[in-house]
Structure 1
Amino acid sequence: MIDPDLLAAASWTTEPAAWRRTDDGLEVTAVRGSDAWRHTSYGFVHDDAHGLLAPFGARDALEVSFRLDYDQQFDQAGLLLRASPETWLKAGAEVSDGVPQVGAVVTHGRSDWSVAPVPDWSGREVTVRASRDGDAVTVRARVDDEPWRLVRVAPVDPGTQLLAGPYCCAPTRAGLVVAVTGWRRTDPDPALH
């Protein structure tokens, strides 16, 4: 389910090729070449991911769900937290070397990237959760109703204003369509463990 209050408060970082409401949520078509990355290893800067973002508080949590029904190199969807073009975090499922991977990119001027293969997630509903409290954002993910997996704990200045919501990118091809099936606010995690 898409929270109508989040949708009403949100705007796109970069407009996708197309998007529409559906009975199940949102359908977003990415522009070929869209991505979010800064410098590290590749040497380029991309700041045209399709993020539909709403305010994200200093003690807040957000969950984004989507179907992992894509399979092309670097196709990706998930949750984006953004302070500026130089400071952001994206987490979700990305296809790399032919395999779906759960992972995150944390960017403070320069991007890093961590992934773990999740081939059994293909064709299923993935939920990514970001929980912000104090000086950290904790990212967890799961498929269907399986247990949450810790993806990343990343630092965040408690005074930083963030926007957050679903995102998708298609760095290498046209025609990626992502079905966002859920976007909701919830309580922050009570503890890391």
Structure 2
Amino acid sequence: MTNQPWATGRWTHAPVTATADGDDLVVTAAEGSDAWRRTAYGFVHDSAHALVAPFAVGTALEVTFTADLPEQFDQAGVFVAVDEETWVKAGLERSDGLLQLGAVVTRGWSDWSVAPVDDWSGRRVTVRVSRSDDALVVRAGLEGEDQQFVRVTPLDGARAAEAGPYLCSPTRAGLAVRFHAWRVTEADAGLH
């Protein structure tokens, strides 16, 4: 496992601030930042703050952050970008009063799946995305505990992708997320 230096990545959209604090990176999202395409809401938002670097087949990327997401639609986790209409965001989001673990997979249109994990609030969480020849596998869990399976979705191994930590704040100003680690390691050997 290799720690990815924060300076390795490039921002898809610059955040309000991104400040090193020891080994951590504290990032403040712009009000109205989000990533979504069409489905159910009828809009396209392409303003999420993702710190991305190349994401090769055969590798996995892990991001650890503190799950301090108190307001509706506050979110953070891992973003995988292929192009403006093909991307995945996976992690935590405050929705309907609960902290939710989920993923949005977008291929022209976005979909969204969630499950409540409100007991993760305020704790360190690791989100892991593993890339194989034809798929992404998303797992997540509390730091130091077993990770749970979240999602498997197709992704053509011939397509170039970038990935890294992300956050966004669709409804308010002032969301700051403390990211503790960004790591690259070998891809998962299997789904189960």
Calculate the TM-score normalised by the size of structure 2. 0.97
| Aligned-residue offset at 1:10 | 1.2
| Aligned-residue offset at 1:24 | 3.8
| Aligned-residue offset at 1:114 | 0.2
> Match for residue 141 of structure 1?
140
Alpha-carbon deviations, 1:72-114, whole Å to 9, x = none?
Answer: 0000000000011100000000000111000000000000000
| Aligned-residue offset at 1:144 | 2.2
- 8 A contact 1:102–1:117 mirrored in 2: yes
The CA RMSD measured in Å over matched residues stands at 1.1
- 8 A contact 2:64–2:143 mirrored in 1: no
> Match for residue 115 of structure 1?
114
> Match for residue 105 of structure 1?
104
> Match for residue 4 of structure 2?
3
> Match for residue 74 of structure 2?
75
Please give the alpha-carbon distance, in whole angstroms, between the structure 1 residues aligned to 2:169 and 2:179: 15
Alpha-carbon deviations, 1:19-67, whole Å to 9, x = none?
Answer: 1111141000000000000000000000000000000002211000100
- 8 A contact 1:87–1:109 mirrored in 2: yes
- 8 A contact 1:137–1:154 mirrored in 2: yes
**Cα distance change, pair 2–58 in 1 and its aligned pair in 2 (3 A):** closer
- Aligned with 2:122: secondary structure? coil
- Aligned with 1:112: secondary structure? strand
Quote the sequence identity (%). 55
| Aligned-residue offset at 1:2 | 5.1
User: Partner letter of residue 55 of structure 2?
Assistant: F
Please give the alpha-carbon distance, in whole angstroms, between the structure 2 residues aligned to 1:146 and 1:73: 27
Alpha-carbon deviations, 1:112-163, whole Å to 9, x = none?
Answer: 0000000110010010000001100000000122211101101001101000
Count of residue pairs brought into register by the alignment: 191
User: Partner letter of residue 124 of structure 1?
Assistant: R
Structure 2 unmatched runs, 5+: none
